[in-house]
Structure 1
Amino acid sequence: MNGAALLERLGDRLAGLRGRMTPDAGMDKVTWFRAGGPAEVLFQPADEEDLAAFLKAVPEEFPVSMVGIGSNLLVREGGIRGFVVRLSAKGFGQAETVSPTQIRAGASIPDKRLAAVALEAGIGGFHFYHGIPGGLGGALRMNAGANGVETRERVVEVRALDRKGELHVLSNADMGYAYRHSAAPKDLIFTSAVMEGYAEDRATIQAEMDAVQHHRETVQPIREKTGGSTFKNPPGTSAWKEVDKAGCRGLMIGGAQMSPMHCNFMINTGTATGYDLEFLGEAVRARVLEHSGIRLDWEIKRVGTFRAGHEIDAFLGQML
């Protein structure tokens, strides 16, 4: 079913929604990899109320998935079936201080912007977000972290809507955080969160943010089409070290390459398809498994269906 047919099938159910519906939306324009197939229908709700109305209107047999700002996302070439929700900056990208040490922020606010809000308010503990190329919703979902700090250390409570459009307010404990993981139900769409830091001098915060920026510019390919860290760090070692030891620094498949600068970063050199990128990632996993016996887990979120004839199996049997 194409996007127009899907919208026609639902007919008047979607009447009254204030957000933007885009059938057959190119996800290559959304993801930082600039690759991947289309979403059957992309919906950008106007606000939390509009999102709740949408979820209540769409029968549960129709798939609904969520994407953030696309920084840590790989969309397969067959695209994404059903509806894809992407929170708008206008409706979900604001932040405000609610106490001397707390910030309420919408789920679509970029992590870097959240760090800037904290700096302006003199709230410490958010400097690490200055170096994370993503949005708060994704950070909440995957417990994003850097420079020795993780999202779980800042979360007070999270607002979310379930597949039926019902509101949930989750505590830090409810989120069930672990390394790069949250145990919150997968169908929940986070809309905002209250985050807490501590009082700190603005000059100190700025110095911490400057150090984060310097580190990123020195060791990461931040000006490339990339999805950030490709694999999670396995226990007792770093993913990039294992990728490097397996001889995969600079490895290329089609237009996809493991960055020569930081070999846990996968980049689109200009012509990579979703197939090239995922094939490269699985090839690297296979090499690392063969070399060290370590099974690397993807940190990049891979969604959608494979294009016919371009399916990829995990841990390729033939080394490249």
Structure 2
Amino acid sequence: MSVCYALPPVRGKLTHDAPLAPLVWFKSGGSAEWLFEPADAKDLADFLYALDPSVPVMTLGLGSNLIVRDGGVPGVVVRLGKAFAKVAKVDDVTLDCGAGASGILVSSTARDNGIAGMEFLRSIPGTVGGFVRMNGGAYGGEVKDILVDCDVVLRNGDLVTLPVEQLHYSYRHSELPEGAIVVGARFRGKPGEPEAIQAEMDRISASREASQPLRSKTGGSTFKNPDGGKAWQLVDEAGCRGLQIGGAQVSEKHTNFLINTGDATSADIEELGEEVRRRVKAKSGVDLHWEIQRVGVKK
């Protein structure tokens, strides 16, 4: 990928032609033209303010629900690191969470402070930024149920706070402004006993371990559940359990998961997903929609 623009100075870290495969769960895909790891929210805001508006920018969290295509990602990929991974208690039922904090850290901090209602976050592979953007949910809970407001840096560099009402949440979707990067959020739960909270987290962890291929190179849930149905069931009924293209396979354990069996390219994984969609449409008439985000350039 060619560079034809100047990048603003930063206090964080800028890396040219940075491999993204090690940073995503599928362990496949190309490089970022530039990878930016900002020192803090102001570093990010100043960078975006000064960056040529025509340069594409995307955010990378834990890379759990993501296919990075083999041709790589043009422009700038922003990765929020340790500076954005802090979680602090605001009051008896509210946590202030950096966008880089994991669901495990948020739920564990909630437990330690006797805050219930955030246990489901433990089961979602990802970070607060992704949860807020996609209305992350599992085991009966959704981010819309606990979010108070969030801090975002807009593409023009403005840092603003948006209340939950402005996100207009629906299933796995929000109306965050185009190009906005979540840098922090406040989550509100309810009073609870740490022992009971831990018991619920243990129940969720055990259920997830039993039903999902957690020890494989995967991307989490591949397709959104259609209205009134379950994606995994439609995939199974279409005869796709174990279906393989190249090094990519539909999980035998949970058919709404695709896995990299070892040497899959991102093209293999995406092609397999599209083949599953074709077979489900032919069998049941249902159009499955990707839940996994696909970014970058096909090779």
Q: Using CA pairs below 8 Å that are at least 6 residues apart, which structure has the higher relative contact order?
A: 2
Distance (whole Å) between structure 2 residues aligned to residue 115 and residue 209 of structure 1? 8
Aligned residue for 2:151, secondary structure, equals: strand
Give the match for residue 219 of structure 1: 211
Given residue 33 of structure 1, which amino acid in structure 2 is its aligned partner?
A: F
Corresponding residue for 1:303? Answer: 295
Question: Deviation digits for residues 64-102 of structure 1, max 9, x if unmatched?
Answer: 11121101110111111111111112x100010000000
Deviation track 1:114-167 (CA, whole Å, cap 9, x = no partner) reads: 111101111000110111111111110110100011010010000001111001
Alignment of 1:36-51 (within 5 A): 36-51=29-44
| 1:137 corresponding residue in structure 2 | 129
Whether 2:68 is the aligned partner of 1:97: answer no
Aligned to 2:172: 180
Q: Percent identity?
A: 46
Instruction: State how far apart, in whole Å, the 1-side matches of 2:130 and 2:51 are.
Output: 24
Task: Give the TM-score normalised by structure 2.
Answer: 0.98
In structure 2, list runs of 5 or more residues that go unmatched. none
RMSD of equivalent CA atoms? 0.9
Q: Which residue identity lines up with residue 280 of structure 1 in the other structure?
A: L
Listed as ranges, the matches of 1:251-290 within 5 Å are: 251-290=243-282
Q: Secondary structure at the residue paired with 1:85?
A: strand
Match among 274, 280, 284 for residue 292 of structure 1:
284
Q: Give distance in 2, aligned partners of 1:292 and 1:146.
A: 25
Corresponding residue number in structure 1 for 2:190: 198
Work out whether 1:53 is the aligned partner of 2:46: yes
- Match of residue 80 from structure 1: 73
Match of 1:20 in 2: 13
Q: What is the CA–CA distance in structure 1 between the aligned matches of 2:194 and 2:115, rounded to whole Å? A: 8
Tell me, in whole angstroms, the C-alpha distance in 2 between the residues paired with 1:56 and 1:202: 43
1:63 and 2:43 aligned: no
Distance 2:75 2:269 in 1: 23
1:147 aligned residue (123, 139, 143) = 139
**1:33 aligned partner:** 26
Deviations along 1:1-27, one digit per CA (max 9) or x if unpaired, are 44xx45xx41xx523x11111100111
1:304 CA displacement: 0.5
Q: Distance in 1 between matches of 2:246 and 2:102?
A: 31
SS of the equivalent of 2:67 reads strand
Structure 1 residue ranges without an equivalent (≥5): 308-320
Per the TM alignment, residue 113 of structure 1 is displaced from its structure 2 partner at its CA by 1.1
The equivalences for 1:110-125 within 5 A come to 110-125=102-117
Deviation at 1:57, TM superposition (A): 1.5
Shift in Å, 1:186: 2.6
Q: How does 1:225-236 map to 2 (within 5 A)?
A: 225-236=217-228
Q: Per-residue deviation at 1:212?
A: 0.4
Query: What letter is aligned with 2:42?
Result: E
